[in-house]
Amino acid sequence: MTKPAITEPFENLHDQILDAVGEEGVVAAPADMARYLAEERGRFVGRAAFVVRPASTAEVAEVVKLCAAAGVGVVPQGGNTSLVGGSIPFEEGDEIVLSLERMTRIRELDADNFTITVEAGVILQQVQEAAAAADRLFPLSLGAEGSCRIGGNIASNAGGVQVLRYGNMRDLVLGLEVVLPDGRIWDGLRALRKDNTGYDLKQLFVGSEGTLGVVTAAVLKLYARPREVVTAFVAVPDPAAALALLGRLRAASGESVTSFELIPRLILEFALRHIEGCRDPLSAPQPWYLLVELFGGREDGGLREALEEALAAAYEDGTVLDAALAESETQRRAFWQLRENLTEAQKFEGGSIKHDVSVPVSAVPAFLKEAEAKCRELVPGCRPVPFGHLGDGNIHFNVSQPEGGGAAEREAFLAGWDAMNRAVHDIVHRHRGSISAEHGIGRLKLAENARFKSPVELDLMRAVKQALDPHGIMNRGKVL
Ligand code: FAD
Ligand code: MLT
Ligand code: ZN
């Protein structure tokens, strides 16, 4: 391999790491490093001395030890689908990216214990497929599941479209193996549902966004694979009606509601306009939609009837305007394709200012009303397209720039990102909500997080960081 132009203090480190992980384990040519240094939304582009791709926990530990000795920062990376700039280094170029993409072993699946033990680099979809092959369900599901990796899901405490029933990653982890910032390996790979022997250390690393250590493997919970899946695309007049339907369905189905996704008409139009193969499931345009899915334990277990009855009753009282039930897996997939492409569809409509927020579910209608009014006051003509996980109060309150306009208008609109974030987050705060429901803080939300976190909470987080990473080499400048 031609020796890349790696300058001190990285030259020596580069050679040491090359010895530890071999040629396969180091990427140093700028063209080959590019994909590790750009992030999903193109807001940040980082620089790194080089990228390391260890193939085992022992190699990860060796690499971290060498970086700690050299005082060089480490940015752990999984699928690099982070939406807050957490997975790429800063522009200074004085960190290395440590990609877990070569650690893709499924170490064990214990169907009787309803657990699966996987390495950090296993892609989420692969875990879902391995579980299904054993007649089990691994319930984490999100738009990036084809490329995000389990280590990243854990470090970002990923949420997605089934949190309402199965919780987020924090609720799905039973045990972790972690390489600590000093290079020691913590083997916490226990497959127990009960273990009351001191602090629950694994939970420190869930959601830590790579700032406390490198997750190298995990024991994850599995669930029974559903025998009945009922999916509907439902039109409602407004978010308050959506909320009423949620309560009705949860009651009518004995907590079988698995997904409850809110979609406003405008963003559906974005998808119909720009995404190949997307079709409106209903015959006439409606103001708001819900993608609803229920899982049951028995074929024809009556879930479909329960849903139809609840929809019919809601139709009678005007809280439902129309609905289509999926009659086939193909139709079900078509409904989900609409939902999963909302992220992509926004890219074709100019600049989009993002908010990943949560409020108590009952506060969503009031929050939406206040936040929409505020944004229109700030930027007349802007187009709020609030969508997402209504079932857990998590709304992606994204706002597209006013219709039309070119690059200049896009720039001007995006220049208002921080001001709009502050305005929307103030409203979230008034509703005792969170300014980052599922995507984390990364580098994007540092200032906003510091604005709302109490001094006590920030002190506690700094104390944990100081205890585990006293030399501050893990994912510098992220989260805190
Ligand atoms: P990366 O992006 O590589 O890293 C994420 C963070 O974890 C970074 O801070 C990184 O440093 C750290 N990290 C990565 N691997 C490790 C490790 N092994 N040890 C320690 N730290 C590590 N997120 C949701 O929660 N819900 C959604 O519905 C959702 N939908 C999305 C839809 C699309 C189209 C896209 C592009 C993203 C979406 N995301 C969503 C965001 C993203 O997919 C999640 O945050 C995901 O969990 C990141 O996984 P990853 O493997 O890509 O991690
Ligand atoms: C989603 O739920 O689609 C994502 O979390 C939101 C986004 O990609 O903006
Ligand atoms: Zn989401």
Name the 3-class secondary structure at 203. Answer: helix
Cα 456 to Cα 98: distance, rounded to the nearest angstrom: 32
100 lines ligand 1 (CB under 6 A): yes
* Strand partners of residue 288: 236, 264
Average pLDDT over residues 246-254: 94
343 lines ligand 2 (CB under 6 A): yes
What one-character-per-residue DSSP string does 390-416 give? Answer: GGGTEEEEEEEPSSS--HHHHHHHHTT
Q: Give the confidence band of 440 by pLDDT, cuts at 50, 70, 90.
A: very high
Res 395: pLDDT: 98
Cα 188 to Cα 176: distance, rounded to the nearest angstrom: 5
pLDDT higher than 60, residue 3: no
Res 9: pLDDT: 75
Q: How many residues does the chain have?
A: 480
Cα 345 to Cα 340: distance, rounded to the nearest angstrom: 10
Residue 166 has a CB neighbour count (10 Å cut-off) of 18
120 lines ligand 1 (CB under 6 A): yes
Average pLDDT over residues 426-443: 98
The Å distance, Cα 160 to ligand 2 centre, comes to 8
Name the 3-class secondary structure at 276. Answer: coil
Pocket test for ligand 1, best of 56, 122, 142, 291 (most atoms within 8 A of CB): 142
Cα 401 to Cα 408: distance, rounded to the nearest angstrom: 11
Query: Which of ligand 2's atoms lies nearest the C-alpha of 161?
Result: 2
C-beta separation of 166 from 223 below 8 A = yes
What dihedral do alpha carbons 236, 340, 257, 221 form, nearest 10°? -160
Q: Residue 36: which of 87, 92, 103 has the closest Cα?
A: 87
Cα 418 to Cα 327: distance, rounded to the nearest angstrom: 44
Q: Is the torsion defined by CA of 386, 387, 388, 391 positive or negative? A: positive
pLDDT higher than 80, residue 5: no
Cα 239 to Cα 227: distance, rounded to the nearest angstrom: 30
20 lines ligand 1 (CB under 6 A): no
Average pLDDT over residues 309-324: 96
pLDDT in tens, 122-172: 999 999 999 999 999 999 999 999 999 999 999 999 999 999 999 999 999
pLDDT higher than 80, residue 321: yes
Pocket test for ligand 1, best of 82, 140, 149, 172 (most atoms within 8 A of CB): 82
Cα 244 to Cα 253: distance, rounded to the nearest angstrom: 14
What residues have CB less than 8 Å from 405, skipping those under 6 apart? 350, 413
Residue 231 has φ and ψ, to the nearest 5°, of -130, 135
Q: Give the confidence band of 438 by pLDDT, cuts at 50, 70, 90.
A: very high
For residue 338, give Cα distances in angstroms to 61, 135, 139, 307.
Answer: 42, 27, 20, 21
Which tokens hold the place of 353? 């200012």
Strand duo 51-52 + 73-77: pairing? unpaired
Question: Which domains, ranges and CATH numbers included, belong to the chain?
Answer: 8-99 (3.30.43.10), 106-224 (3.30.465.10), 228-343 (3.30.70.2190), 350-439 (3.30.70.2740)
155 lines ligand 1 (CB under 6 A): yes
Res 1: pLDDT: 46
364-378 and 239-252 helices, crossing angle to 10°: 160
Average pLDDT over residues 45-72: 97
C-beta separation of 110 from 68 below 8 A = no
Average pLDDT over residues 450-476: 97
Query: Residue 479: what residue type?
Result: V
